């Protein structure tokens, strides 16, 4: 497909000598509707160098410009140049590209030879996997898919919270109130209950806190009894987590949790010492960051135990040495902003120039019915509950609307899970989201089920048409405004993927495929597709096949299944 914006920027460059074509390229806009042109160029910025009013510049340019291939007309409106594509040419270019490339439409080789590590999900063992971790999981998974689509080699890492003082607490709780079979049956919620119980009891008997700290110190010193319990808690939890990931369709290349770095900590501490970055403070070991207006980064407690940040520093050094990443991305909620700024700074102070390639991708908090999700008090929505609840709801709807469907269970699963993922990826990631059962699973409006249904509808038209997809159709039959809107959305899609990758913002893709689904449904409602006229039928079916393909690509990039029936 020719790059229409590129064509225009090359052309405009001839008339605007003192701006380079990449700058011109970035200034080209897409007007909100085709009546104002398909592409527009604002002349404001030229006023200064050309010493003329922008409107005048636009008027003069319109007179002199010789349009490149693919364009039919240019008009000026105020300070804007509005370009109109040659619709038949344009539609042909876009459709041909989609049909030729199929599921690869929009993919690129930009990232070839480069590696991106993505650290996502990372729930804490013996604490719940809640909707906050769900956000990290689905955002990270989408970023993985998007980057991979653009040619990067991705390394997905689950930095499980499998080390830390919480284990001391759970060990104390288990020894007092635990039941082995319960942990084997439902490890995640049983361990959470023990954790919650510990906090309730410790309010009355504060000495339990010391006991718990003692157990964690034992773990760090390698005491077998403590480690054995820890290993068991971890392995039972991971087994359960993997079930949830399977349901979500999420995979990781590595399950290297915090404990994986235990034997690498000594090396990190000595490197820090050698580089004279360490300081004593009330018995603890810190790195002073006052100069950078940040509180100190604590790397070792008084009792010798290490911290979350220590393990993150060790992990980053390990990843750089083993994967030689171009970027290492961390997906967590924004409450960890300071944590990441602190230890990224430490890596920089250690003299590692790649500190600039460590990127924190923060996202908003999830509240549930207006309240913050908190572990200790137990006000959590367990992810499993959310997912099975979603699937149940979809099953009911399917049962009601389409009881004769084959594989209803499979569909309930992909639509229920898809709804949860889509809901999560609908808004700018930094926005706080309030989780509510009603909006997450709505089948109307800008939701996952709506887009998935649009895909299924397109599949159904294609099944009924039962035609060989052939790009040799009379494209002049597709020049109407409604069809053009569908094609324009598709033409922009490759650029949308690049933008989402650059900003680490999957919601850019979500928004775009909602628009595509809406444009497609207008096309579907306004035009009969399976008409008598064979030529027209072939042309419209081709539009359906094209849109279907792009919706599927979009859903897949978000980590959502595109069902053929529902
Ligand atoms: N386990 C942490 C939490 O639940 C998230 C870990 C994020 N990754 C990292 N390398 N720090 O808050």
pLDDT for 186? 87
CA angle 508, 509, 511 (to 5 degrees): 70
Does 475 contact ligand 1 (Cβ within 6 A)? no
- DSSP class of residue 375 equals S
b/e map 53-91, b = 16+ CB within 10 Å: ebbebbbebeeebebeebbeebebeebbbbbbbbbebbb
Contact yes or no for 488/34 (Cβ under 8 A): yes
Residues that are catalytic: 127, 130, 133
Name the residue of 261, 336, 344 whose CB sits within 8 Å of the most ligand 1 atoms, as the mutation to test its pocket. 336
User: Is the four-CA dihedral 279, 281, 287, 293 of positive or negative sign?
Assistant: negative
CA distance 276 to 271: 9
SS3 string of 69-82? CCEEEEEEECCEEE
What's the pLDDT at 379? 46
Model pLDDT for residues 453-494, shown as the tens digit of each residue: 999 999 999 999 999 998 999 999 999 999 999 999 999 999
Using CB atoms within 10 A of its CB, is residue 234 exposed (0-12), middle (13-18) or buried (19+)?
buried
Print burial letters for 270-307: b (CB count within 10 Å at least 16), e (below 16): eebeeeebbeeeeebbbbebeeeeeeebbbbbeeebbb
ipTM of the shown complex: 0.99
Is 256 a pocket residue for ligand 1 (Cβ < 6 Å)? no
Q: Which residue has the tokens 């403070």?
A: 281
Q: Find out whether the beta carbon of 119 lies less than 6 Å from any atom of ligand 1.
A: yes
Task: Please list the residues that pair with 156 across neighbouring strands.
Answer: 118
3-state DSSP of 232-269 = HHHHHHHHHHHHHHHHHCCCCCECCCHHHHHHHHHHHH
Ligand 1 centre to CA of 402 (Å) is: 42
- Residue linked to tokens 């393990």: 311
Could you write out the DSSP letters of every residue in 443-481? SSSSSHHHHHHHHHHHHHHHHHH-----S-S-GGGG-SH
Q: How far apart are CA 198 and CA 126, in angstroms?
A: 12
Question: Sign of the CA dihedral 137, 138, 144, 147?
Answer: negative
Q: Is the CB of 124 under 6 A from ligand 1?
A: yes
Ligand 1 centre to CA of 336 (Å) is 9
* Count of CA atoms in the C-beta half-sphere (13 A) of 502: 7
Q: What is the DSSP string of 393-456?
A: HHHHHHHHH-TT-TTHHHHHHHHHHHHHHHHHTSS-TTS-EEE-HHHHT-SSSSSHHHHHHHHH
Can you tell me the distance from the alpha carbon of 53 to that of 50, in angstroms, rounded to the nearest whole number?
Answer: 9
Q: Which tokens belong to 82?
A: 């509005």
Q: Give yes or no for a contact between 159 and 315, defined as CB atoms under 8 angstroms apart.
A: yes
| 156 Ramachandran zone, left/alpha/beta (phi>0; psi -120 to 50) | beta
In the chain, the N- to C-terminal Cα span, in Å, equals 33
* Order of strands across the sheet that contains 71-77: 39-42, 80-85, 71-77
pLDDT at 369: 65
Strands 327-333 vs 71-77: parallel, antiparallel or unpaired: unpaired
So what's the pLDDT on residue 188? 85
* Burial degree of 25 (CB within 10 A; 0-12, 13-18, 19+): middle
Rg (CA), the chain: 28
Q: Which residues of the chain have pLDDT under 50?
A: 378-379
* Ligand 1 pocket residue status of 162, Cβ below 6 Å: no
Distance between CA atoms of 274 and 404, rounded to whole angstroms? 71
Best residue for ligand 1 mutational test, from 158, 159, 237 (most atoms within 8 Å of Cβ): 159
Query: What is the side-by-side strand order in the sheet with 278-281?
Result: 278-281, 284-287, 297-300
* Domains observed in the chain: 4-85 (3.30.1360.70)
């Amino acid at each position: 497909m020719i790059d229409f914006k590129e064509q225009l920027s090359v052309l405009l460059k001839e008339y605007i000598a003192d701006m380079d074509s990449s700058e011109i390229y970035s200034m080209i806009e897409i007007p909100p509707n085709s009546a104002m042109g398909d592409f527009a160029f604002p002349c404001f910025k030229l006023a200064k160098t050309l010493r003329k009013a922008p409107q005048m510049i636009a008027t003069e340019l319109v007179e002199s410009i010789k349009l490149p291939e693919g364009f039919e007309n240019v008009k000026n409106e105020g300070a804007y140049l509005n370009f109109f594509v040659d619709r038949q040419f344009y539609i042909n270019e876009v459709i041909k590209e989609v049909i030729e490339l199929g599921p690869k439409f929009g993919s690129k080789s930009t990232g070839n030879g480069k590696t991106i590590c993505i650290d996502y999900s990372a729930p804490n063992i013996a604490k719940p996997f809640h909707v906050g971790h769900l956000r990290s999981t689905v955002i990270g998974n989408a970023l993985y898919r998007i980057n991979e689509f653009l040619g990067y080699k991705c390394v997905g890492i689950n930095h499980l919270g499998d080390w830390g003082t919480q284990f001391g607490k759970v060990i104390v709780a288990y020894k007092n109130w635990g039941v082995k079979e319960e942990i084997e049956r439902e490890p995640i919620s049983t361990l959470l209950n023990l954790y919650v119980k510990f906090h309730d009891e410790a309010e009355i008997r504060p000495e339990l806190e010391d006991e718990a700290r003692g157990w964690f110190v034992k773990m760090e010193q390698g005491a077998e009894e403590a480690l054995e319990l820890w290993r068991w808690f971890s392995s039972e939890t991971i087994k359960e987590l993997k079930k949830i990931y399977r349901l979500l369709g999420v995979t990781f290349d590595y399950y290297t949790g915090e404990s994986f770095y235990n034997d690498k900590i000594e090396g990190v501490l000595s490197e820090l010492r050698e580089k004279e970055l360490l300081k004593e403070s009330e018995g603890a070991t810190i790195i002073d960051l006052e100069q950078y207006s940040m509180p100190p980064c604590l790397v070792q407690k008084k009792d010798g135990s290490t911290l979350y940040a220590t393990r993150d520093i060790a992990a980053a050094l390990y990843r750089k040495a083993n994967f030689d990443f171009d970027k290492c991305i961390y997906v967590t909620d924004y409450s960890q902003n300071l944590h990441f700024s602190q230890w990224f700074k430490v890596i920089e102070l250690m003299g590692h120039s790649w500190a600039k390639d460590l990127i924190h991708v923060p996202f908003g908090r999830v509240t549930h019915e207006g309240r913050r999700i908190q572990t200790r008090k137990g006000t959590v929505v367990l992810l499993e509950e959310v997912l099975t609840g979603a699937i149940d709801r979809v099953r009911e709807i399917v049962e009601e609307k389409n009881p004769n469907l084959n594989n209803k269970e499979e569909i309930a699963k992909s639509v229920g899970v898809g709804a949860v993922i889509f809901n999560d990826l609908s808004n700018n990631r930094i926005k706080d989201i309030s989780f509510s059962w009603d909006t997450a699973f709505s089948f109307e409006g800008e939701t996952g089920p709506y887009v998935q249904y649009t895909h299924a509808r397109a599949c159904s038209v294609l099944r009924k048409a039962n035609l060989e997809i052939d790009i040799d159709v009379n494209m002049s039959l597709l020049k109407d405004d409604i069809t053009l809107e569908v094609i324009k959305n598709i033409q922009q899609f490759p650029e949308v993927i690049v933008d989402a990758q650059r900003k680490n913002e999957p919601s850019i893709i979500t928004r775009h495929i909602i628009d595509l689904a809406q444009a497609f449904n207008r096309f579907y409602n306004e035009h009969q597709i399976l008409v008598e006229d064979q030529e027209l039928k072939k042309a419209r079916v081709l539009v359906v096949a094209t849109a279907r393909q792009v919706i599927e690509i979009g859903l897949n990039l978000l980590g959502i299944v595109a069902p053929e029936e529902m």
